Chains A and B, each alone.
Chain A
């Protein structure tokens, strides 16, 4: 198990968010009146990372790896089972609702589905203004002016203030979601799959918008996505999650050019490349089977049942810690990849030097 120390390097003091050994277990119960817990879904099980002021941390992983649960815990939308969340120097892990309130305007969220995340009965002006009103940030006239400014900033017509969400397309709705998140001048924005539901041309518009806003307002992002291309484009550092654990954290370039964890390698080799010559020449690492159930996860290394480098008696016995590989690159594997790209064959048969 990775120790509860900040494991990803970088200068101290400029961290906006520090997460240490975060755990979120959902109980599985039996019985109606006398509910008895019979098991737990370990959605997030010991994740540590830091996010520095002004940077973008990308989080990738397949469905069910716990990335959204992790985000909801960080936002304190879910109560954590264990671990610590330090935001801007203060431990917010167990703050009460009212103590949490001043921090709510410092961290905002952009959701995946632009159709479900906007109240269809409210006008756009109200949706964007709501947080400003809740936090009493100005008079009615000031708020209205601010909302119109925000609509302009995200590339919408300020005159559309009085329209309803259904009058907008998917991309425009996601812009409304961005305006809502920006309204209270937050320091941190957690984006949970913000472009997954959009067409590629619109996706490019939103990604460019998020980058522009980051440079003009000095925003810090935690950017969750399952699309490795998108994460590479927007992130400074990337964390790869598998079954509730961080298996690799690295600066963007290192992760994509020299991945250490076999799971990261498999993910990278599975991404279709929009170039028939490059794409078809490449050899894929095709993982067998599905992600195991987080109710009854595999012993020791969580990835061992699907891993091409699995070695009996080691990987299924001893849990690999997050090990440093220099320059803020960490991976949790006993037999990390020596180079990249490698074919499945090479991975299976290359000399496997255990990490001491």
Chain B
């Protein structure tokens, strides 16, 4: 059985303008020790998916449905006290912005000790020893002295290390990292990504990484979910996604990246803007921006199905597999058709 199995997850927000369908039928699963990457642009619903799993959406105006089965229990229907036991213990989260997700008026050590004592019946001294051990594990130099520093005394990369230490204090089975390296410089990003993969080996946690950077996905993910406008456009093992991408949106994402290892005169641009989730387009949600749009795309919503014989590689697009393979090859060669 999978560690976490998400089935037909929907999160709708009531707003003054109407109902925003921020997540609209998302399914995936993750095994122990595995890394799942969720990639998509701003507003595609990748963060909301994880906030829903963690039960962190504002209750008042959120309507959620579907299932998120974690070790046999449905996270969406459990009591808030049970959820509080799981959060920070079995499931931990790393947020994007290390500048704002630590409390500025408490010392690093005190914040770590609090996280430990919430879930473990240990003395303050034991908790502090554990905190120190973790700060060392994430590579904070002179941890014995830095444990009593305030967050503002740390640089961005060091703060992100503290966030990771805090997420790991209770040996979580699942770690959700929402854009863990977006606010960091490339050299620091490389340090943090290396740290995360090393820690995964040592602790055996499963990791969900949310990012907009396909480069980060390629470096650390085992499986990838590509989200577009609140739905999954494509889900595949990482090698498949980059070698044989099936969805025109994935092609657009790959083509729009300037690359270090290839010279391209012009980048592929996906025309237009992502749609409003108040009134998503009929049929396939990508059809107004898709260069391969056909009549059927405008009326019939494509189902998430395997395009070829690979069972674990599913996509939601009406194109036939021959066209897909032909066009995907062009994208990978750097000559994708561009909509005018």
Scoring A residues 268 to 291 as 1 if CB is less than 8 Å from chain B, else 0, what string do you get? 111111111111100010110110
Q: How far is the CA of A170 from the CA of B270 in the complex (A)?
A: 15
Q: How far is the CB of B335 from the nearest CB of chain A, in Å?
A: 15
A284 and B190 within 8 A (CB): yes
Whether A290 touches B157, Cβ cut-off 8 Å, given contacts A205-B269, A230-B258, A273-B260, is yes
Q: Which of B56-64, B124-132, B214-222 contacts A (4 or more CB under 8 A)?
A: B214-222
Contacts of B186 in A (CB 8 A): 62, 226-228, 267, 270-271
Whether A228 touches B185, Cβ cut-off 8 Å, given contacts A274-B242, A276-B238, A279-B219, is no
* Residue A199 lies at the interface, judged by CB distance under 8 Å to chain B: yes
A200 and B194 within 8 A (CB): no
Q: Which of B74-82, B164-172, B249-257 contacts A (4 or more CB under 8 A)?
A: B249-257
* Residue A30 lies at the interface, judged by CB distance under 8 Å to chain B: no
Contact of A274 among B158, B191, B257, B268 (CB under 8 A): B257
B261 and A278 within 8 A (CB): yes
Contacts of A267 in B (CB 8 A): 186-187
Scoring A residues 176 to 212 as 1 if CB is less than 8 Å from chain B, else 0, what string do you get? 0000000000000000000000011111110110010
Q: Whose C-beta in chain A lies nearest to the C-beta of B270?
A: A201
Whether A229 touches B260, Cβ cut-off 8 Å, given contacts A63-B185, A204-B268, A272-B215, is yes
* Residue B321 lies at the interface, judged by CB distance under 8 Å to chain A: no
* Residue A119 lies at the interface, judged by CB distance under 8 Å to chain B: no
B260 and A289 within 8 A (CB): no
A272 and B219 within 8 A (CB): yes
B189 and A287 within 8 A (CB): no
A256 and B260 within 8 A (CB): yes
Give the contacts of B185-233 with A (CB-CB under 8 A). 185-191, 193-194, 212-219
Whether A277 touches B239, Cβ cut-off 8 Å, given contacts A233-B264, A267-B186, A286-B191, is yes
Scoring B residues 160 to 188 as 1 if CB is less than 8 Å from chain A, else 0, what string do you get? 00000000000000000000000001111
Scoring A residues 244 to 284 as 1 if CB is less than 8 Å from chain B, else 0, what string do you get? 00000000000010000000001111111111111110001
Q: How far is the CA of A267 from the CA of B191 in the complex (A)?
A: 12
* Residue A66 lies at the interface, judged by CB distance under 8 Å to chain B: no
Q: Whose C-beta in chain B lies nearest to the C-beta of A207?
A: B267
Q: How far is the CB of A260 from the nearest CB of chain B, in Å?
A: 17
Contacts of B189 in A (CB 8 A): 270, 272
Q: How far is the CA of A226 from the CA of B184 in the complex (A)?
A: 10
A272 and B213 within 8 A (CB): yes
Q: How far is the CA of A193 from the CA of B164 in the complex (A)?
A: 28
B260 and A287 within 8 A (CB): no
* Residue A123 lies at the interface, judged by CB distance under 8 Å to chain B: no
A270 and B187 within 8 A (CB): yes
- A-B Cβ contacts below 8 A, count: 126
Contact of A201 among B190, B216, B219, B256 (CB under 8 A): B256
Q: How far is the CB of B111 from the nearest CB of chain A, in Å?
A: 21
Q: Whose C-beta in chain A lies nearest to the C-beta of B158?
A: A290
Contacts of B187 in A (CB 8 A): 62, 266-267, 270, 286-287
Tally of chain B residues near chain A (CB < 8 A): 44
Whether A200 touches B190, Cβ cut-off 8 Å, given contacts A63-B185, A273-B259, is no
* Residue A232 lies at the interface, judged by CB distance under 8 Å to chain B: yes
Whether A211 touches B266, Cβ cut-off 8 Å, given contacts A62-B187, A226-B186, A287-B187, is yes
| Residue of A172, A201, A276 with most chain B CB atoms under a 10 A cut-off | A201
Q: How far is the CA of A227 from the CA of B213 in the complex (A)?
A: 12
Contacts of A234 in B (CB 8 A): 258
Q: Whose C-beta in chain A lies nearest to the C-beta of B257?
A: A274
Q: Whose C-beta in chain B lies nearest to the C-beta of A231?
A: B258
Contact of B218 among A205, A268, A270, A273 (CB under 8 A): A273
Q: How far is the CB of B176 from the nearest CB of chain A, in Å?
A: 20
Contacts of A227 in B (CB 8 A): 186
Q: How far is the CA of A70 from the CA of B260 in the complex (A)?
A: 25
Q: How far is the CB of B316 from the nearest CB of chain A, in Å?
A: 18
Q: How far is the CA of A169 from the CA of B188 in the complex (A)?
A: 30
A229 and B239 within 8 A (CB): no
A271 and B219 within 8 A (CB): no
Q: How far is the CA of A211 from the CA of B264 in the complex (A)?
A: 12
Q: How far is the CA of A276 from the CA of B219 in the complex (A)?
A: 6
Q: How far is the CA of A345 from the CA of B141 in the complex (A)?
A: 23
* Residue B15 lies at the interface, judged by CB distance under 8 Å to chain A: no
* Residue A165 lies at the interface, judged by CB distance under 8 Å to chain B: no
Contact of A272 among B158, B218, B242, B264 (CB under 8 A): B218
A169 and B215 within 8 A (CB): no
Whether A169 touches B259, Cβ cut-off 8 Å, given contacts A211-B266, A272-B216, A274-B218, is no
Give the contacts of A73-109 with B (CB-CB under 8 A). none
* Residue B103 lies at the interface, judged by CB distance under 8 Å to chain A: no
* Residue A114 lies at the interface, judged by CB distance under 8 Å to chain B: no
Q: How far is the CA of A280 from the CA of B189 in the complex (A)?
A: 15
Other than A200-B213, A274-B242, A279-B219, give 20 A-B pairs with Cβ distance below 8 A.
A62-B186, A200-B253, A201-B256, A204-B268, A204-B269, A207-B258, A208-B266, A208-B269, A228-B260, A229-B215, A232-B258, A269-B190, A271-B186, A272-B215, A274-B214, A274-B215, A276-B219, A280-B219, A284-B190, A287-B187
User: Can you list 21 A-B contacts (CB < 8 A)?
Assistant: A171-B273, A172-B273, A200-B253, A200-B256, A201-B41, A201-B270, A204-B255, A204-B267, A204-B269, A204-B270, A205-B269, A208-B266, A226-B186, A232-B258, A256-B260, A269-B190, A270-B190, A274-B217, A278-B261, A279-B219, A290-B158
The 8 A-B residue pairs with the shortest CB-CB distance, nearest first, are A272-B215, A233-B258, A204-B256, A270-B190, A204-B267, A201-B270, A62-B185, A199-B41
Interface residues of A (CB under 8 A from B): 62-63, 169-172, 199-205, 207-208, 211, 226-230, 232-234, 256, 266-280, 284, 286-287, 289-290
